[in-house]
Structure 1
């Protein structure tokens, strides 16, 4: 294939085809890796879910202890870094008891 002999339209189509082929290639490789990892985990008595997001699952299950004074959708469990809204409320004179649920 000689790129010099191709028109702009042909080159643009080729570029799109190559981009699609690369994406498909990456997806296939990712699926192959996932199958291998699932097999390895199963051989040892685990599943990939046992490894993926294990820390998030623990912290996500904590009930909230504090609520934003103006936006009840924003909550904090009291563990980890203090959210900025919590810091701002404390700096503005609120107490932890004021923000407690």
Structure 2
């Protein structure tokens, strides 16, 4: 399928690019699903689930923190922070209000 790009207008070329970009995204999704299915099938042939082999728990989109919480919100003990990464709003608010960080340590 030869496309005469030099005969196309800029508008036609941009539309073609958008179509190609969308086709690439869709093909990647399809190939990813195929690869996942093949990996699950291969794992099952040996009597394992893919989650067992990869060490994942709970399926897609789960992210667990390996660090233990270091700080706890005194007003809501269910809110904790490891001390790494961005400070949560409750921590910033408490610090701004004069609460020392040591007082919020677990």
TM-score range for the pair, normalised by the shorter chain length = 0.5 to 0.7
1:75 alignment partner in structure 2: 80
1:94 alignment partner in structure 2: 102
How many pairs were matched up? 87
TM-score under structure 2 normalisation? 0.58
Bigger helix share = 1
Tell me the CA shift for residue 4 of structure 1.
Answer: 0.9
Tell me the CA shift for residue 65 of structure 1.
Answer: 8.0
Tell me the CA shift for residue 66 of structure 1.
Answer: 5.1
Instruction: Provide the secondary structure at the position in 2 that maps to 1:94.
Output: helix
Equivalent residues of 1:69, 1:99 under 8 A apart: no
Tell me the CA shift for residue 44 of structure 1.
Answer: 1.4
2:46 alignment partner in structure 1: 44
- Aligned-partner Cα distance in 1 for 2:76–2:31: 44
> Structure 1 residues 52, 27: closer, same or farther in 2, change over 3 A?
farther
TM-score under structure 1 normalisation? 0.61
- Aligned-partner Cα distance in 2 for 1:29–1:20: 14
- Aligned-partner Cα distance in 2 for 1:5–1:72: 67
Across the aligned residues of Structure 1 and Structure 2, the Cα RMSD in angstroms comes to 3.6
> Structure 1 residues 31, 52: closer, same or farther in 2, change over 3 A?
farther
Equivalent residues of 1:65, 1:75 under 8 A apart: yes
- Aligned-partner Cα distance in 2 for 1:52–1:25: 28
Tell me the CA shift for residue 3 of structure 1.
Answer: 0.7
- Unaligned 5+ segments in structure 1 are 77-81
- Unaligned 5+ segments in structure 2 are 58-62
